[in-house]
Amino acid sequence: MLQIIKLAWRDLNRNRRRSFFSALALGMGLSLLLLMAAVIEYEIRSSMDTSIRLQTGHLQIRAASYNENRSSLAWEDLVEGPAAIAVQVAGLPPVSVATPRLFASGIVASGDTSAAARITGVDPASAANDPYRSGILSGQWLGADDRDGIVIGQPMADKLGLKAGDKPNVLVNTANGDVDSQAFVIRGIYSTRTPGFDNGTIFMSLAKAQAITRAGDHASAIFVLLKDRDQTGAVVAALQTRQFTVLTWDRMNALLSDTEELANSYMILLYLIILAITATVIVNTLVMAVFERTREIGILSALGMRSGRIMAMFFAESAMLALGGIALGLIIGGAMVAYFGSVGYYIGDYGMTGLLFGERIYAVLTLKDAINLSIAALLVTLVASVYPASLAARLEPVEALRGGRQA
């Protein structure tokens, strides 16, 4: 076995440039796979966390008549006495925050320009608002008793040419089907660095949202954040009642889960394409080696080396190329992932409805992905070497010594 390894190493060193570029081709393919896997891993994980933190929470307690296919402000479709319910829910050990929220559709108008908005009535003091409060770029967050102030996202402010202190008109759908209009003072402009959310969401105090929509002492949902989302099932079991519908984070983010499955399917296809191209390079390298070493193979056969050992020699060459390529791939891929993990790549508003992607793409590589892709690269390289190895093993000694070959 040691002799085979020595022969394989010697043969690779005969044409170092070709061997290096073959290994480099495999390394570049692997590094690209590592980067793609890292980006997908980060974006899916980040989008889920972002959606939970900004939009859905881990749980939402809704009225029993809740229908996800329609948005209703009718009292029978809202949660009555939400403040008291939120206090009870917040008392459960796994719950971090529970707070009422009222959602309504509306329009923000300034001069001749306007933009559709998702109006969100919140308890200004709740810790659930920390992502928006910490993202204030100018002005300030809502006060506890604010009755004429709103906070809007930077993309909407830029679109409408608004700044803190301006007074745009806000048109809001009401519980009885009418539209109410009122001038609000922009208390602050925020950015969560998630354009899909910032572009359409404005905040006002829950009390004001209830008043302008004529919702009375009702809320659309109790927004719940957990200390550990693995406790979701236990909290749902504790909240089960005919009076409410409890929505879980995975149900509310079903589109994101479906997108993850679709992305994984496409990634597998891309992996296969890149590995197939890499395998072609390896096959070409080894076939050329067979043609160049036809006479040498004939001599080895004439000296008694069996075809199995000849095949093993080419498999050893392939394995060495693979290990060299994997090492290069891990170095190059690791550097690329490190760069994208710290600096990222700016994409702005990704523009996919229902999905909350940040304005920058980042990458995070898991040890599992690195190991799996490295093993895949090794296996593909070994499989690709089967044809050249069998080609070398089938050479007849006499024909090989004459410089010919018999396939």
Question: What residues pair up with 170 in beta bridges, in sequence order?
Answer: 108, 182
* Residue pLDDT, tens place only, 290-319: 776 666 666 666 666 677 777 787 788 888
Q: Could you give the 3-state DSSP secondary structure of residue 136? A: strand
The secondary structure of the chain in percent helix, strand, coil, rounded to multiples of 5, reads: 55, 20, 25
Residue in the structure block whose two tokens are 């100018």: 138
- Give me 346's structure tokens: 């700016």
Residue in the structure block whose two tokens are 């966390």: 49
- Give me 257's structure tokens: 């889960």
pLDDT of amino acid 405: 43
CA distance linking residue 10 with residue 313, whole number of Å: 11
Q: Terminal CA-to-CA distance of the chain, rounded, Å?
A: 26
pLDDT of amino acid 1: 65
Residue in the structure block whose two tokens are 């070709």: 18
DSSP H helical ranges for 115-246: 130-133, 154-160, 195-198, 206-212, 232-239
Residues 400 and 388: beta-carbon distance below 8 Å: no
CA distance linking residue 199 with residue 29, whole number of Å: 38
DSSP H helical ranges for 119-205: 130-133, 154-160, 195-198
pLDDT of amino acid 262: 74
Residues 228 and 94: beta-carbon distance below 8 Å: yes
Residues 400 and 289: beta-carbon distance below 8 Å: no
pTM to 2 decimal places: 0.73
Q: Average pLDDT over the chain, rounded to whole?
A: 85
Helix 386-393 vs helix 254-292: angle between axes, to the nearest 10 degrees?
20
pLDDT of amino acid 335: 94
The low-confidence residues of the chain, meaning pLDDT below 50, are 351, 353, 404-407
pLDDT of amino acid 296: 66
Residue in the structure block whose two tokens are 């209830």: 210
Question: What residues pair up with 169 in beta bridges, in sequence order?
Answer: 109, 183
